[in-house]
Amino acid sequence: MLLHPKRVHRATLVTVNNFQGRDLFPMLGESSRCPGTAAEHVCVFSTEKMPKKSKTPSVKRRIADQEQPAVKRSKEEQSDTSPLCFQSPATLFESLIQPMGTDRFFSEYWEKKPLHLQRSDPGTASYYQSLFQLCDLQSLCSQGLEYYRDINVVRCVNGKKKLLNKEGRVKHSVLNKIMSQNKATVQYHQPQRFKDELWRIQEKLECFFGALVGSNIYITPEESQGLPPHYDDVEVFILQLQGQKHWRLYNPTVPLAAEYSVQSEDSIGIPTHDIILKAGDLLYFPRGTIHQARTPAGVNCSIHLTLSTYQRMSWGDLLLDVFPSLLCGRSRREVSLREGMARRLLLSSSAGLHTNQRLAASLRALADEMETGAQDLGFTHMKRDFIMNRLPPYCQQQLSSPSGKSPGLEDTVILTFKDHVVITVEPRPQSTDDATELVVFVLHSLKNQREGHMMGDSCDDQEERSISTGLQFPLSYLQALRQLQLAEQLVVAQLQLPTQEDKLNLALALWSENLLRVL
């Protein structure tokens, strides 16, 4: 259930200093619980609605952000049958896990224990089924799906995964034959690339979590199992779309695991949770939870959607990101960190007590500096990875050119798509000066390609995508950018910049990237 392969990104950004309008080019069911378990099952009997890499064919974007002008909604979007509320990222998640409250979910279940939500509401079951059906697979095969990249065909045989893929493009007739003859599971990778409603859901969830959200569809025939017992390195939300699936969960051997691992049947013990998921049900379990699932007898086919998030989003990952820049900054200010280490230390068999004590003292001083807030935490790599790889806004029109009136000094403006923008302070790229010059980067995901979401990129693809991800400003623009981030609305002339020209330059630069709108 891997979200994405490890990536390294490089970005080329346009410097915005004396911006002159057009001269700026953007760069850029039923369930049973084993005795003594902590599983909780919430049943819903009310039908009351919640408040309201490849290069593939391009897909039109639909707008969902409140701060953007209203657009015509499709019949599907206008339907009152959806149990999900897309008003904001928070309401979307709340409606996804209803009737469980968000606060209770995060205090009692998130990263702690599984949760099974049973739904008897036929509206929820019908909506879940609409997210992906067998007929969708047939139509998608005509769009150039390929084995391995887009589709895996698998079956669990004697506790091991047997891969039944062919080579090249997927033909629906051949795929259907493999499934029926081998009782195999079809694993469809990242369907949000082609299914609009999944794009809509996952884009909002990425805003809610502030983390990438991937998905897979699993189609498993009767009395068959696709994958052996294993655990994942992601938080998992299972939505049962059609049929039923028998899930068995086991205690983690590695709580909150940071990597995927297959487990042998004889090493995992007895299930802590034994659950039958029915259409409309939701199952959550934390990363590291050992699990296996099988379509029971009497059920022709099971289809479920797996939503996965929080891969490499731990405090340890954050420390790995921020520590190098923190240490670099303190080394520039603290002469003791620039003193040479002991002679022949690299030839020693161990560091020795004195070395350990000196390094520990330096780390304590660095920790004290962090705690007092004397130095900003610059977790730029994680920010860049998220913003460059997340879904673009759910939109109907293309966002390649600015819309609406261009801003003037007297205009009241608003920063749009705030959840799709990050601001970082970093050394200027390719600086030739001896002294490191810091600049401000405004990175955004408006021009990200939905068709490549969570699919990983080659170096060439990374370079190609890096031409359209944001802007670069002088460090003096930082306070004004933070003003725009925090304010509901703001007059351009009130921006905290020294000259009127700087204020207009900033507003026009953001407007040119569709990041700012005149009210």
Quickly state the pLDDT bin for 26 (edges 50, 70, 90): very low
Angle, alpha carbons 17-397-126 (nearest 5°): 130
Token output for 178 = 């493999």
pLDDT of residue 28: 28
Q: How many residues does the chain have?
A: 519
User: Lowest-pLDDT range, 301-310, 407-416, 458-467, 486-495?
Assistant: 458-467
Instruction: Give the mean pLDDT of 33-40.
Output: 42
The closest alpha carbon to 446, from 379, 390, 509, belongs to 390
Alpha carbon distances (Å) from 157 to 1, 161, 270, 275, 448 = 19, 6, 20, 22, 39
- pLDDT beyond 80 at 375: no
pLDDT of residue 102: 98
* Helix pair 196-209, 122-131: axis angle to 10 deg: 100
Token output for 94 = 């709340």
User: What DSSP letter does each residue of 366-408 carry, written as one string?
Assistant: HHHHHHTT-S----HHHHHHHHHHSPPP--SS--SS--SPPP-
Q: Are 224 and 294 in contact (CB under 8 A)?
A: yes
Interval 415-445: pLDDT, tens? 999 999 999 988 887 766 566 788 999 999 9
Omega before 99 within 30 of 0, i.e. cis: yes
pLDDT of residue 426: 87
Instruction: Give the mean pLDDT of 359-377.
Output: 87
SS3 115: strand
CA–CA separation, 383 and 373 (whole Å): 20
- pLDDT beyond 90 at 299: yes
Contacts of 92 (CB under 8 A, 6+ apart): 84, 85, 86, 201, 204, 205, 208
- pLDDT beyond 70 at 157: yes
User: What DSSP letter does each residue of 92-113 carry, written as one string?
Assistant: HHHHHSTTS-HHHHHHHTTTT-
Instruction: Give the mean pLDDT of 309-336.
Output: 92
Map out the domains of the chain as residue ranges.
Answer: 89-309, 385-455+464-518
- pLDDT beyond 80 at 211: yes
Fold of 89-309: Jelly Rolls (2.60.120)
Angle, alpha carbons 278-279-284 (nearest 5°): 70
Q: Are 106 and 218 in contact (CB under 8 A)?
A: no
pLDDT of residue 53: 38
- pLDDT beyond 80 at 153: yes
- pLDDT beyond 50 at 52: no
Quickly state the pLDDT bin for 403 (edges 50, 70, 90): confident
Angle, alpha carbons 484-490-491 (nearest 5°): 125
User: Lowest-pLDDT range, 18-22, 83-87, 152-156, 465-469?
Assistant: 18-22
Instruction: Give the mean pLDDT of 26-35.
Output: 34
pLDDT of residue 427: 85
Instruction: Give the mean pLDDT of 152-158.
Output: 96
Angle, alpha carbons 506-509-515 (nearest 5°): 100
Residue type, 514: N
CA–CA separation, 77 and 82 (whole Å): 8
Mean pLDDT of the chain: 84
User: What DSSP letter does each residue of 192-259 carry, written as one string?
Assistant: GGT-HHHHHHHHHHHHHHTS-EEEEEEEEETTB-SS-SEE-SSEEEEEEEESEEEEEEE--SSTT-SS
The pair phi, psi for residue 175, each rounded to 5°, is: -60, -45
Token output for 238 = 């299972």
- pLDDT beyond 90 at 401: no
pLDDT of residue 40: 53
Quickly state the pLDDT bin for 395 (edges 50, 70, 90): confident
- pLDDT beyond 70 at 71: no
Question: What would the CATH number be for the domain defined by 385-455+464-518?
Answer: 3.90.930.40
- pLDDT beyond 60 at 2: no
Instruction: Give the mean pLDDT of 92-100.
Output: 97
Residue with more model confidence, 112 or 75 = 112
Token output for 303 = 């289809």
Residue in this structure with the two tokens 């004590």, named with its chain if needed = 357
Q: Are 286 and 113 in contact (CB under 8 A)?
A: yes
- Stated pTM of the model: 0.84
- pLDDT beyond 60 at 152: yes
pLDDT of residue 379: 80
User: Lowest-pLDDT range, 215-224, 330-339, 429-438?
Assistant: 429-438
Quickly state the pLDDT bin for 244 (edges 50, 70, 90): very high
- pLDDT beyond 90 at 62: no
Residue type, 181: Q
Report the run of H or E that residue 490 belongs to, with start and end.
strand 490-491
Instruction: Give the mean pLDDT of 83-107.
Output: 97
Strand order in the sheet with 438-444: 14-15, 470-474, 438-444, 421-427
pLDDT of residue 373: 79
The alpha carbon of residue 70 and the mean position of all alpha carbons in its chain are separated, in whole angstroms, by 26
Quickly state the pLDDT bin for 3 (edges 50, 70, 90): low
Indicate the pairing of strand 151-157 with strand 160-163: antiparallel
Of 20-24, 73-77, 378-382, 463-467, the range with the highest mean pLDDT is 378-382
Q: Centre a 10 Å sphere on the Cβ of residue 426 and count the other Cβ atoms it contains.
A: 18
Quickly state the pLDDT bin for 462 (edges 50, 70, 90): low
Instruction: Give the mean pLDDT of 187-213.
Output: 97
Instruction: Give the mean pLDDT of 112-123.
Output: 95
Q: Are 396 and 473 in contact (CB under 8 A)?
A: no
Return the DSSP state at 82. Answer: -
Quickly state the pLDDT bin for 82 (edges 50, 70, 90): confident
